[in-house]
Amino acid sequence: MRILVMSDIHGNHTALEAVLKDAGSVDETWCLGDLVGYGPDPNAVVEEIREIKNLTCLMGNHDVAVIGKMPLETFNGDARRSLAYHEKVLSASNMDYLRALPSKPKVRGDATIVHGSPRDPLWEYILNAVTARINFDYFETPWCFIGHTHIQSVFVKIGDSERVYLEQTIPNEVIQLEPKLILNPGSVGQPRDRDPRAAYAIYDTEAKTWIPKRVAYNIKEVQERIRAAGLPEKHAVRIGEGW
């Protein structure tokens, strides 16, 4: 099967549309959470996600916060302002959809999928080999797909050893999957790897391949909507620069 794997859309509907168009026909879509937060389009994003066929969608930490199950004080000031705005404008049906999303890791064939980490599904960031090494003990499948960091990455564990290293990914370069790996498709709506293009990945379950992908979208249009909604200027600036 050809599966679209994406994460961290963060209220950026324009980026989501670009990813869905660029990915083309897929057999399934796996969304690793954080539909809301930061961006200007929470309702449009949730409604688009709800229409996707053969979807598995997880809950992210921003999704948990907007439904009232995590204190907004947990987040920094700018993130908190955006979440408060989303809490106010989200429709009742979209809130209900977010409430129904699973927050724990899911196993899908050879892959475990989760928002943050298999050890701490909603909050832990896997940004370095030390944290990755610990988390390899928390899933039993050959590979684990994570979001949350907004950075396309692959962590590789060498056989039965404790050696783990971070492998640089290149858009459109095919990665042949072998045990044991932790892979991140990056962020659709707010990349943080200095590449502002929307990020996602294509996972082929038969060929056992992972292809990191990037697609350009109309960032200026989204920045204008962020400013029109009175959301933090920082969120407009960072999507244009990818930090």
Cα–Cα distance measured from residue 221 to residue 215, given in angstroms and rounded to the nearest whole number: 16
| Closest to 48 (Cα-Cα) out of 88, 24, 100, 12 | 12
Cα–Cα distance measured from residue 112 to residue 78, given in angstroms and rounded to the nearest whole number: 32
pLDDT tens by residue, 2-16? 999 999 999 999 999
Q: Which domain holds residue 172?
A: 2-241
pTM, 2 dp: 0.97
The pLDDT assigned to 159 comes to 85
Element (H, E) at 134: helix 129-135
Sign of CA dihedral 68, 85, 150, 47: positive
Cα–Cα distance measured from residue 15 to residue 96, given in angstroms and rounded to the nearest whole number: 24
Coil vs helix vs strand at 17: helix
pLDDT tens by residue, 30-79? 999 999 999 999 999 999 999 999 999 999 999 999 999 988 988 999 99
The pLDDT assigned to 9 comes to 99
Number of domains into which the chain is organized: 1
Contacts of 54 (CB under 8 A, 6+ apart): 27, 28, 29
pLDDT tens by residue, 103-134? 999 999 999 999 999 999 999 999 999 999 99
pLDDT tens by residue, 140-172? 999 999 999 999 999 999 988 889 999 989 999
Domain containing residue 132: CATH number:
3.60.21.10
The pLDDT assigned to 205 comes to 98
